[in-house]
Amino acid sequence: KVVSPSSYRISRILSVLLPARAPYWRTACSTAITMRWDCSVEVLNAAEAPPFPVNERADQVAENTRLQYRYLDIRRERMQRNIRLRASVNSAIRRAMEEQGFVEVETPMLVPSTPEGAREFIVPSRQQPGSFYALPQSPQLFKQLLMVAGIDRYYQIARCLRDEDLRADRQYEFMQLDAEMSFVSQDDVHRAIGNAVVAAARAAGQEPGEIVKITWHEAMNRFGVDKPDLRFGIELTELTDVFAGTEFKAFAGAACIKGINAVGKADDYGRNKLDAMTYKAKKMGAKGLVWLKVTADGFDSPVAKFLSETESAALRSTFNAVAGDLILIVADEWMTPCEVLGQLRNDIGRPPVHEGPYRYLWVVDFPLFEWNEEEKRWDAEHHPFTMPHHEDIPLLDTDPGKVRALCYDLVCNGLEMASGSIRIHRSDIQAKVFNLLGISEEDQSDRFGHILDAFAYGAPPHGGIA
């Protein structure tokens, strides 16, 4: 019952020295010390005063300092929590994958160059001067070889290395859940990965709702991006018909006219902000951006006088617009209004990324190719092994730009979480795709010879994701 001043000091010292990672030990010690105030303390090792407080106040410390003393930074409760959370998520993923019959295989780190398109890190070979290993940008080729090898449900939490510019969600080295399955449709892949994602989300304390599915075309059409954030409205609306016979020059004859209604935002956007938005729209390729602030009796907008009464009324009713709303319109070929308004929609309405609820979706049916205007050739949208949609195979000969791919992304709150495809397992289709991508026969055997050889021995239909 007697608490001595020195035991109080000791328990304070213990709480500094033994942070969250040893909570039981800390409680046990201070209890022991409180009860037996005559106990002695043995110093196991003397320590310097840390260069910053080992608590939440370290969040204010310069990041470089935290990184230099990472071992002290990680003593903090928040960092401890993050690392433990990551471990629980990985463990939940492993359990979910194993329960579904997936086999974990670790693929090599010193590899020949792989053809996925990211810049690779290379390692000089000591034994063969002048030759280099690549570090894997992903285990793509290995997992496809594993399908030929009969490991028909493979997974790995794989380390990948890409020598690409840093971004908020991208660094040189990262881990991904990497999986591949034989004899599957894309729905089978979605189901298996959906189960792992739900398990991972639950391990992180989230309860994700249903994972909905939309096509790439619908995503672009309604949200203007291929990774839509479903947490807010402001959907893109088709206005081409509204302005079908218009005399307003900026809209007349346009292939596609689309708009968004930023409900109640008119007052938030003064002249400077609207100019900045217009500048951004033009930088993205639009000829201009039309803005209209909805007022009680019409529009406050430099273009209001060019719209007929019927057009103005149709515009209001299409958007159910009321005073205080802000309508933005772009007219051009289909892709430009989509992309420009998609960006503006995100700028205007997107909540901070960590804010729930968590809205997951699959985006499917991406185009197989993307036209590279600079190089005047087709690029693979995903990678050269992506299977075209069965119905679209004839279009490879006639209209490659229209071919849809059996390719899919998992998106959460506007972020791409995963990406994958059903692969080409037939050499005739593969040859056609290589030709369209402008990869010569010599290049094909140089770069992909090992996988093409393997495919000659009965590659099963397969697909995967990471």
- Sites of contact with ligand ASP (CB under 6 A): 116, 138, 140, 419-421, 464-466
Neighbours of 376 (CB within 10 A): 8
CB of 295 or CB of 419, closer to ligand ASP: 419
Smallest distance from ligand ASP to CB 420, Å = 4
Token pair, residue 173, equals 């080295």
CB of 348 or CB of 387, closer to ligand ASP: 387
Smallest distance from ligand ASP to CB 360, Å = 18
Q: Which residue is nearest to ligand ASP (CB)?
A: 138
CB of 116 or CB of 120, closer to ligand ASP: 116
Query: Is 233 in contact with 264 (CB distance < 8 Å)?
Result: no
Residues 117 and 25: their CA atoms lie apart, in Å, by 51
CB of 159 or CB of 202, closer to ligand ASP: 159
Smallest distance from ligand ASP to CB 442, Å = 25
CB of 220 or CB of 387, closer to ligand ASP: 387
CB of 116 or CB of 229, closer to ligand ASP: 116
Residues 435 and 440: their CA atoms lie apart, in Å, by 7
Smallest distance from ligand ASP to CB 465, Å = 5
Query: Is 370 in contact with 188 (CB distance < 8 Å)?
Result: no
3-state secondary structure of 308: coil
- 3-state secondary structure string across 362-406: EEECCECEEEECCCCEEEECCCCCECECHHHCCHHHHCHHHCEEC
Smallest distance from ligand ASP to CB 437, Å = 16
Alpha helix (H) residue ranges in 212-270: 216-223
Smallest distance from ligand ASP to CB 141, Å = 9
Bridge partner list, 365: none
What is the largest distance, in Å, between two alpha-carbon atoms of the chain?
94
CB of 107 or CB of 421, closer to ligand ASP: 421
Smallest distance from ligand ASP to CB 344, Å = 28
Smallest distance from ligand ASP to CB 402, Å = 22
Cα torsion for 183, 188, 189, 195, to the nearest 10°?
-140
Name the strand (E) or helix (H) holding 259.
Answer: strand 256-262
Question: Which DSSP state fits 154?
Answer: E
Smallest distance from ligand ASP to CB 412, Å = 16
Smallest distance from ligand ASP to CB 451, Å = 13
CB of 340 or CB of 406, closer to ligand ASP: 406
Q: How many helices and strands in the chain, by DSSP H and E?
A: 14, 17
Give the angle 84-89-90 at the CA atoms, nearest 5°. 100
CB of 329 or CB of 407, closer to ligand ASP: 407
Residues 466 and 368: their CA atoms lie apart, in Å, by 18
Query: Is 133 in contact with 120 (CB distance < 8 Å)?
Result: no
Residues 319 and 259: their CA atoms lie apart, in Å, by 9
Token pair, residue 55, equals 């608590």
Give the angle 303-306-309 at the CA atoms, nearest 5°. 115
